[in-house]
């Protein structure tokens, strides 16, 4: 099983979008007691991204595209 972490997210999004700005922050510590948390320390991430490709679509479409790119890791 492959766990998601900052570097995996950063690499996949950077490779796909070639963004002008990309920031990935692990915020799992803030959510460690939430139901359903896997307890791996890699469950909640904040992503800030600026990409020409994302400016051409709606925010919802952009989120769907990002989730699709990270689909394996999110399972």
Is residue 64 scored above 70 in pLDDT? Answer: yes
pLDDT at 75: 75
Neighbours of 43 (CB within 10 A): 19
- The b/e string for 10-28 (b: 16+ C-beta within 10 A; e otherwise) is bebbeeebebeebebebeb
pLDDT digits over 17-51, tens only? 999 999 999 887 776 666 655 556 666 889 999 99
pLDDT digits over 8-19, tens only? 999 999 999 999
Indicate left, alpha or beta for 5 from its phi (over 0: left) and psi (-120 to 50: alpha).
beta
Alpha carbon distance 28, 39 (integer Å): 9
pLDDT at 4: 77
């Amino acid at each position: 099983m492959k766990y998601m972490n900052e570097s995996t997210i950063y690499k996949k999004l950077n490779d796909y979008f070639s963004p002008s700005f990309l920031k990935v922050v692990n915020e799992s510590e803030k959510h460690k007691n939430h139901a359903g948390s896997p307890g791996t320390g890699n469950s909640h991430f904040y992503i800030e991204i600026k990409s020409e490709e994302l400016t051409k679509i709606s925010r919802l479409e952009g989120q769907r595209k990002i989730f699709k790119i990270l689909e394996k890791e999110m399972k």
